[in-house]
Amino acid sequence: MELTGAEILTRCLAEEGVEYVFGYPGGAVLEIYDAIFRQDKFRHVLVRHEQAAVHAADAYSRSSDKVGVALVTSGPGATNAVTGIATAYMDSIPMVVISGQVNRPAIGLDAFQEVDMVGITRPCVKHNFLVKDISQLAETIKKAFYIAASGRPGPVVVDIPKDVTQQKAKFSYPASIQMRAYTPAQKGHPGQIKKAAQLLLDAKRPLLYIGGGVVLGNAADEVREISRMLGLPVTNTLMGLGAHPGNDQQNIGMLGMHGTFEANMTMQNCDVLLAVGARFDDRVISVPQHFLSSPKKIIHIDIDPSSIAKRVKVDVPIVGHVKDVLADLIGAIQQSDHKQADITNWWKQIEAWRAPNSLHFDQGSDIIMPQFVVQKLYEVTGGNAFVTSDVGQHQMFAAQYYRFPEPKRWINSGGLGTMGFGLPAAMGVKLAHPDADVCCITGEASIQMNIQELSTCKQYHVPVKVINLNNRYLGMVRQWQEFFYGNRYSESYMDALPDFVKLAEAYGHVGMRIDKPADVEGALREAMALKDRLVFMDFLTDQQANVFPMVQNGKGLTQMDLPPHMRNLQIAPPTPVNERDYGNLC
């Protein structure tokens, strides 16, 4: 029996176990939408903007172990999706984006709503395809899902001309796929793993540094096991939140530009660093020259060899799936004859750095501090909610004060820093986990970039909770203008904001405005109790609140701008590490 290209596509998606397709129809994909109408294997969610479709598919994937799927039409529909594709690419999220294309004879002739989707997305996808032959359609979809989810995950675009969706061919879906030019590594090199084990056992100032690769690789259990086995201090990137419990004593908090004082000091002064699924990007180590000014040995585990030694010299590179490599590393440590070095003094030093509490804030006034809202949200939800975020100060407050105890609960645009991500991401997470509490922490500027998705939430009954930290400023822009531009707040103040309560109500949701600290906890509890309603909470917060600590661009990790209560503290640097403390393996 022959099927149209559109029918073949929907059959392929069903074969892949797709549950939701997030999309927006248009002329080039009408055949596909007609085929969707005539099937019952998956649901389609009609968003209000293509960017939101891709963010929702992205977050659906981040919170589950499934590949997200988005569907957009040609031309502006395709280009509107590019920001979402780039967001997923920067954070290595497995996703398949299907875009419509004009008929094959019209390609290259500036036809109506024609864009070169393959060319446009080439720099921000793991791979992309233009399907020119219907006989290749099913195999191409199989390849797309395989590439998206294997190795270092990432988005794959499949561009399908309209006449291909109209043609007919026999349907046969491959059970598996082999690609000779694409063979992701899985197991790490045994010799390198043995070296890493010995370095860790010899270390007097070890540190475990974890990133989003641990979350994506489902390696949280192995991270927790090795950290407990060796008593390691643990720090994480923004994308690694929850991979090690944020409320665990061994967790010293996020590091980097807005990391804790103790995490940055520990990172700078460790003698052996075990980096797992994490990059050494500018927001983490700032200036490489300063980071390496304190001698240390670096072990780096990553599935992507191109991520190793990109910005810093690595002593023991290990390419492989982080879950498998960590399991082998744990085994190597258990089988080693080496006795672990005493790290008691190292922990005393770390506790001395932790004692001033660099995340302390004062909620003594009658103005709501944004940190206070996030802290109360953590208490009210018991740390069990999925939390999505947009980008800005509220993003950093969420990362610092919601102490994620589990992985895949923090859903955020880390690499690209995409404003407008939070609300559609919350939609995707809630559809993946309908019984869970899903909260979107946002700001009054970010939420307006995709606020139209309140309509989608109403249509599909997606009762997420929106926590709008409204300071009437582009908060992080204002902070940088205060720090680096002499308080010249150029275009960072918004004085024509909508009434968010009325706006939420206009979409059929519950709106709340909270302007007193005493009302914060009660409002959060009332909102969380409304399980079947979307609640939009507009918290009027302090306009001058800044995110501390902060490492300015061009400064070293230990050259932090500290919160006011720490600025006069006298904190002695640790004793320099002697080269002979490293052992002699590398």
Q: CA 342, CA 72: separation in Å to the nearest integer?
A: 58
Q: CA 415, CA 402: separation in Å to the nearest integer?
A: 20
Q: CA 15, CA 129: separation in Å to the nearest integer?
A: 19
Q: In this structure, are residues 317 and 303 in contact, taking their beta carbons and an 8 Å threshold?
A: no
310 given a catalytic annotation: no
* 147, two tokens: 């590439």
Q: CA 290, CA 272: separation in Å to the nearest integer?
A: 16
Q: In this structure, are residues 557 and 268 in contact, taking their beta carbons and an 8 Å threshold?
A: yes
**Cα–Cα nearest to 56, from 440, 422, 419:** 422
Give me the catalytic one of 2, 39, 112, 516: 112
Q: Which residue has the tokens 């208490």?
A: 379
Give me the catalytic one of 15, 42, 113, 494: 113
Considering only the C-alpha atoms of the chain, give the largest distance between any 2 of them, rounded to a whole number of Å.
79
Phi/psi for 410 (5° steps) reads -105, 115
Handedness of CA 32, 33, 38, 40 (dihedral sign): positive
Cα radius of gyration rounded to whole Å, the chain: 25
Q: CA 429, CA 87: separation in Å to the nearest integer?
A: 16
Give me the catalytic one of 90, 117, 476, 537: 476
396 given a catalytic annotation: no
Q: In this structure, are residues 59 and 411 in contact, taking their beta carbons and an 8 Å threshold?
A: yes
Q: For residues 58, 62, 64 and 68, what is the CA-based torsion angle, rounded to 10 degrees?
A: 20
Q: CA 389, CA 82: separation in Å to the nearest integer?
A: 20
> How many other C-beta atoms lie within 10 A of the C-beta of residue 97?
33
Kindly give the residue spans of alpha helices, DSSP state H, lying in 167-295. Answer: 190-202, 212-216, 220-230, 261-269, 282-285, 288-291
State which H helix or E strand residue 165 sits in: helix 162-166
Q: Which residue has the tokens 């010249």?
A: 488
How long, in residues, is the chain? 586
476 given a catalytic annotation: yes
Give me the catalytic one of 143, 162, 195, 323: 162
Give me the catalytic one of 50, 114, 262, 453: 50
Q: Which residue has the tokens 């400064």?
A: 555
162 given a catalytic annotation: yes
State which H helix or E strand residue 23 sits in: strand 20-23
Question: Cβ neighbours of residue 557 under 8 Å, at least 6 residues apart?
Answer: 255, 256, 264, 265, 267, 268, 285, 286, 290, 291, 551
* 36, two tokens: 């969707």
**Cα–Cα nearest to 39, from 76, 9, 64, 65:** 9
Q: Which residue has the tokens 């740390």?
A: 383
- Residues with a known catalytic role: 50, 112-113, 162, 476
